[in-house]
Amino acid sequence: MPFWKRRVLEEKGAKTGLLVTQGFRGIYEVMEQTRGYGPATYDLLFEKPTLLATPYYTEEIPERVDFRGEVLTPIDVESSLQAVQNLKRKGVESIAVCFLFSFLNQAHELKIKEIIEKEMPNVSLSLSCEVLPQIREFYRMSTTVINAYIAPVVGRYLSLLEGRLRELGLITPRLYIMQSNGGVSTFNGAARKSAATVLSGPAGGVIASIGISEHAGIKNIITFDMGGTSCDVALIHEGNPVITTQGRIDRRPISLPMLDIHTVSAGGGTIARIDSVGGLQVGPDSAGADPGPICYDHGGEEITITDANLVLGVLDPDHFLGGKLRLNKAKAERLLEERIARPLGLSLFEAADGILKIINVKMEEAIKAVASQRGYDIRDFTLIAFGGGGPMHGARMALNLGIPSVLIPLTPGVTSALGLLLADVKHDYVRSKLAPLKGLDLNEINTLFSQLMGQAKEDLRSEGFNDSEIALQPFLDLRYAGQGYELTIPATQPPFKPADLELMRERFDLQHEQAHGHKAESEPVELVSLRLISIGQVPQAKFNPAKPTGRKLEAALTSERKIFFGKEHGVLNTKIFGRHLLEPEHRIIGPAVIEQMDTTTVIHPEQEAIVDSYRNLIVREKK
């Protein structure tokens, strides 16, 4: 994860001031008046997250714009100057500005910007009309405050990073960083809109999976990225990832567009133990990389998923990380026997297998959350398993869920990094406009889209892109009249005609039925916001197919060992193959294990794997 995300989690960001419309300072403090779902609903000791901009650093500005964008009370320049001077005396490093309805009329926020730049030229400044110009005050304010809270940290880090890269001889004129929306941004762009990078960690894996699946001729995929502490799952339908504007970091909303990635606490370091009532509990806490699992022999004393895989025979203690780390299998067996197997009256294998079954169910629930629970038929998808732990668990989970095939990339451990080489520059623009879809003033809407498109092109041109490298994708946020949520619908290219609105109404009804199981074709539909995605196309990594050399499969066989495949199969003598020795058209019959530097792939007795022309492993049930 980006270290500035950890700064938010640990509340160690910049000292942040907040300027709000007079009389509305309570918006940030009251938040959304909900306590979340699940266990939090019944938590008698529930506490809201700490304010990143405290009341002490909050100032009210006499000004008011109404819901039509018309000025009711002009901004009081003298009071604004005094408020800014108060924040200056208090030593704030960054300021967030969020006035009522500034997404309709930016004038007052731009005026306070003039005052701040003159009075505090070195302070970091985040305006809500620039960070997130859309409806819903608290979400706009929360996103703007988070941006202000980390912007100085991100700016300093990227400046130092660029300096160091130049010292090392990097001469490329453009340097990019991953964003939460699946695109990349220039260092300068990321420093200005830092909140767009906070949840970017898993995004690279999703983008890489899209590129890999395209070359494999697969359009519907579910990405499954299992690392050391967590598992990230996302769905791509017809080559398009699902986008959400309802992200959160430590329960704090970030309403910028981002890839819809479902995360659960399940990784190689996830801890298994007997709970207070004598049951086997797996997760959510993790041993991390230091001290790590027991078998690392670095002082870890908690049984983990990695220990269980080692005990079952899936991992080779002498060839972990290509032989760079020798695992202490005897210690893992001893402690697992003492702490879990014996108290539960199970054999060592049964205990280790039980740990894996529990963690697999948790990860399977994450897959259901992005697929079947959203109206998709899971049997229409391919699971792409990567990360250090994905290939060890993916094939078993596919069998359990009825997913017909699993794709294991050539280098699962660095698939997320590959995503950086496949991502284009991507910027998001939004402008809220509440109006009935029927009878919509097309001249006004086309004018707003023209403004957004002009701004998008100007921004990309300033980053060095010419018009032939720029692509623009318009969207509309629509909802049934009276709903409290909306759906983002792909739009035709502006300028719109009446027939375009009819088409988008049809798309909205279909997408609502897909997402919620019903549609209301007779109900009126409202426009909520206009959205635009701008793409600056950059040279991308190329996939080159491999040609078979005629090497026999037997040449890739490195050894055999006994592995426990559950009560159904027991201990089976299993062939071990070296991934680097496999070639296109090789067919591996399960049970089998395929080892490589960055992961271990398990093929179960019911399955077989075929190496495709790009050296991906395609795992399916035996015919």
Reported as a single tens digit per residue, the pLDDT across 318-349 is 988 888 889 999 999 999 999 999 999 999 99
If asked whether residues 593 and 511 sit together in one domain, one would say: no
Residue 103 lies in a domain: yes
Locate all alpha helices (DSSP H) within 24-123, ordered by sequence. 26-30, 77-89, 107-119
Listed residue (553, 135, 204) closest to 386, CA to CA: 204
Residue 611 CB contacts under 8 Å (≥ 6 apart), including other chains? 582, 583, 584, 585, 586, 587, 588, 617, 618
If asked whether residues 492 and 565 sit together in one domain, one would say: no
Listed in order, strand segments (DSSP E) in 88-197 are: 94-98, 124-127, 176-178, 184-186
In angstroms, the CA 336 to CA 348 distance is 7
Reported as a single tens digit per residue, the pLDDT across 424-475 is 999 999 999 899 999 899 999 999 999 999 999 999 998 889 999 999 999 9
Listed residue (92, 98, 8, 19) closest to 49, CA to CA: 8
Listed residue (370, 409, 321, 398) closest to 617, CA to CA: 409
- DSSP code for 50: P
Using an 8 Å Cβ cutoff, are 384 and 219 in contact? Answer: no
Of the candidates 172, 188, 209, which is a domain's last residue?
172
Residue 241 lies in a domain: no
Residue 211 lies in a domain: no
If asked whether residues 505 and 558 sit together in one domain, one would say: no
Residue 154 lies in a domain: yes
Structure tokens, 332 = 């893992």
Of the candidates 300, 331, 358, which is a domain's last residue?
358
pLDDT tier for residue 3 given thresholds of 50, 70 and 90? low
If asked whether residues 333 and 448 sit together in one domain, one would say: no
Residue 482 lies in a domain: yes
If asked whether residues 349 and 468 sit together in one domain, one would say: no
β-strands 16-21, 58-61 pairing: parallel
Residue listed under structure tokens 């697992």: 336
Reported as a single tens digit per residue, the pLDDT across 196-226 is 888 787 899 999 999 999 999 999 999 999 9
Residues 152-157, mean pLDDT to the nearest whole number: 91
Residue 195 lies in a domain: no
Of the candidates 536, 565, 591, which is a domain's last residue?
536
Residue 417 CB contacts under 8 Å (≥ 6 apart), including other chains? 204
Q: 511 lies in which domain range?
A: 427-536
If asked whether residues 22 and 134 sit together in one domain, one would say: yes
Q: What is the DSSP string of 153-165?
A: HHHHHHHHHHHHH
If asked whether residues 22 and 120 sit together in one domain, one would say: yes
If asked whether residues 41 and 134 sit together in one domain, one would say: yes
Which helix or strand (DSSP H or E) is residue 13 part of?
Answer: none
If asked whether residues 476 and 573 sit together in one domain, one would say: no
- DSSP code for 290: T
User: Given phi > 0 = left and psi -120 to 50 = alpha, else beta, which region is 263?
Assistant: beta
If asked whether residues 125 and 46 sit together in one domain, one would say: yes
Listed residue (207, 219, 266) closest to 416, CA to CA: 207
How many domains, in total, are found in the chain?
A: 4
Residue 529 lies in a domain: yes
Full-model pTM = 0.87
Using an 8 Å Cβ cutoff, are 12 and 149 in contact? Answer: no
If asked whether residues 519 and 566 sit together in one domain, one would say: no
